[in-house]
Structure 1
Amino acid sequence: DTANKVILCRAAIAWRANAPLSIELLEVDPPKACEVRIKILSSGICGTDLHILEGRNKVPLPAVLGHEGAGIIESVGEGVTSVKPGDKVLMLPLPECRECCFCLHPKGNVCVKEDVLSPTGLMLDGTSRFTCKAQKIHHLFGTSTFTEYTVVHEIAVVKIDDASPMNKVCIISCEVPTGFGAVFNTAKVTPGSTCVVFGLGGIGSAIVMACKASGACRIIGVDINEKKFPRARALGVTDFLNPRNLKKPVQQVVVEMTGFGADFAFEAIGLIDTMVAALESCRRSYGVCVIMGVAPNREQLSFDPQLINSGRTLKGGFLGEYKSRDCIPKLVTDYLQKKINIDPLITHTFHFERINNAFEKLGKGKIIRCVLLF
């Protein structure tokens, strides 16, 4: 009954930075050609969303934030062939058009149609599908999952197994592939190696689990919030460092602990200082440092070039270098077949109406990863 009609639903709108989200009635237009409209069932809250609200990372506002979403297709626009009404789907912050040079390259996954590097907050045709109080509202990364209904381009959505638990699989849109892919695809952690993980939040926790699965014999966790340590130990961290309690720079302590430095270092915080510290924690000759954290806008990374000249490798990658539409459904299947376990990554669930409570707790470090239920 709702196909081809505007849907009026509730959404959490970020009108400006450094202010709570406001739950409003949102008008969601029908999907245009090659677009789909989705009824959201669950959404993860990512640290990137928090950084936007804090003003660290700039996106066009007002906007409906959120980029980890699971839902059901409500209707489709002209030309859509990969999904149909009633399908269970995940929304993807990184699309895969399967036509551009990056999608066609065997290792490429940052599609030319992405809206992450320089966000416009608009659909591919340059317009919005959201209206509130007679004002057009921006999208986020082509997804926008903090709403009961959203519109997404077909290249940013994938059908998943009907048996998927929709209260959990939403984190496979971002947290899981970002963390797991950093280890399996970008760093290629080897058995018996030593790893150091800067930041034990959502992405860092996924990195820890993947390092353990890869056979790392020692995993050093770095965080200023020691309340995260017991849970991180259960995931696989063997040693902990709180930089605030050290008399030396944390990277120097890591080098002293390990002899020459870690084989693999991961930065999952998004601060310039911790990025440099992670690189300096690597051993020379063959150490690998992977940056997954998103730095505040306009900041520049600066370090001694000898760190690279002596053989260290500095790498990064969106969504763990997974091709989103090709690989995300396989991760869901692996979870259903118990080849991977994502359950420990979800520490809290909140009803959608309590979204501001969830962000408050996330900002205070009381939550690792929260899933909103609609």
Structure 2
Amino acid sequence: MNQTPLHPCYAPLPGARMVDFAGWRLPLHFEGGILAEHRAVRGAAGLFDVSHMGRIRLRGPHAAAYVDWLATNSLPEAGSSGCRYSLLCAEDGGCIDDIVVCRPGEQSLDLTVNAASRARVLEWITGPNPWTRSGRALPAIEDVTSRTAQLALQGPASLEILAARCDADLAGLRNYHFLPGIRVAGIPALVSRTGYTGEDGFELFVDAPDAPALWRALLEAGAPLGLVPCGLGARDTLRFEAGMPLYGQELGLGINPLEAGLGRFVDLAKGDFSGKRALEAVARDGAARKRIGLEMIDAAVARTGHAVRRGEEEIGRITSGGKCPTVGIFGAMALVRRDAAEEPEYEIDIRGRWKRAGARPLPFYRRGTGPRTDEAAVSARGKGRRP
């Protein structure tokens, strides 16, 4: 089982519950538990070890053209210090992975990929694929996951915490932009204003040997402001509450990005890219399915894989479900047939019993607005509670 460079920092902590995830030994939660960590990120800040995420560098004269072909979204402009959320799609439009592209140079591009997808992504981008079969050259491709580390500092206090240990002006760093070659607690780092929690925050990329010192420095700087270490459990509840997709649940080889509600990250106006023809056909004809949000009416908790029906007809499956602590509901995301995606109410098969759920717009939580209270989102039928 793989361990990140930060494993020795937190494995001995009181209350640290370690689990195996995608081949890595990682914390599920610490002493306070998942709910306390979730609330810390929404109200102050949380520090996550996300070094299990894959980090792949592409360099050389063909790097920009190749990543532009790989990714559904347009690339950040050279010199913009920009990052882009994007997707890697197979020729049939199915998602190989969702990624973040960072462009530190004209022909230098960094991909952050999901841990569970890393081997598949590397196999795809190193070929064979339509690019290589056409005889076009590949750039230099290097998997740097094992010799680097990635920390995520998330929450409304994250800027103040990081600024106290940083030699750069972070206040002016825009969302989905990065600063390379700066020092945080004296440690060289690339810092991006990105995250997976629905809050303001930063991700820090450093050499693996430097990660423990950076972890300790950030926790020390943030303790007076309520910073706590956080595990996988809170990361999942935070992203779910914010309506963010998880690869393997809302995305996969059998789910295209238009079905998943990610059409804004598919630039059909740009040049050729893998899966473009298939996605053009989906855009023209309409996606067969749609990702929707649900709020439990009956006292029950929907979980991944539960069937969804309209009347007596099964029309889809739950992709993610659980409690939304900030909003105070039990919610779910589901992938359902397009012709059944606008119903006001559905039923979910939970342990052999059909439980009612009402349609609710995604995301359940949006930073700066608090819980969703628009008329369409508030059900007069009540809120599900844990049974």
> What TM-score comes out, normalization by structure 1 length?
0.27
- TM superposition score normalised by structure 2: 0.27
Q: Greater share of helix residues, 1 or 2?
A: 1
More strand by share: 2
